[in-house]
Amino acid sequence: MHPFDCHGITIRNIDIWAPAHSPNTDGVDPDSSTNVLLENFRYHGGDDVIAIKSGWDCFGYHYNHSTRDVVIRNVTAVYSEAAGCAIGSEMSGGMKNISVSDCDFTQTITGLNIKYSEYRGGYVEDIHYKNIIMGNQAKAALTVNSNYGSKNPSCPKPKGRRAAPVPCPVNTITYTNITSAPGTKVKAWIDFEGLPTNTIGGISIHGVKLNGEKSTKCKLVKGTYSDCAACSSCEGLKPAA
């Protein structure tokens, strides 16, 4: 389901079912849309349960329609070989004011994934995750990583390294009450890596309690944490006052 350039969408009480290993079978992909409510949704397939988008490279920043004011709640990943909720990597029009709460992403490879690269313009800000259950993630449970996404081959060849006029700034990401399902273990807690030109800012973590090795990867990120056993090893994150 791919609502594009829409305003005032409600998607409620749906199941999306595809074969477990089927590629490119995203569940719901709000794209360049505003005032979106997605709730009571179950997914089984081979890709992202939810992937929020706003255009790929030149098309996104020329069209310039952000995805904003999105509420996602009560979503269950029956099975996914990708993320429970992905933001990007097609996000050049910008992302703002997105909340994801009361979701079960136990059966996903990556739990909460913000993915972008130096080729993306736009911005990502005011993203809030609350009351999320994780499981046996084969990659990190919490990811904000700038190493995902290639250039759009349909865009004009850029001058210099970047296709986008301004590398994507990422700010104000909150995680509250992120826990593991009983009997599960995540491979890694955190994978945060910003850009040399754009440090990830405003990370706020409160109550992340996951089973498994407390491994973290943190580079070019700033923020605070409380009640998060692995966060002390994450360079750039400081205890909340």
Enzyme catalytic residues = 47
Distance CA 67, CA 93 (A): 7
b (16+ CB within 10 A) / e for 83-114: bbbbbbbbbbbbbbbbebbebbbbbbbbbbbb
Query: Please, which residues have CB within 8 angstroms of residue 30's CB and are 6 or more apart in sequence?
Result: 3, 6, 9, 36, 38, 50, 52, 53, 67, 70
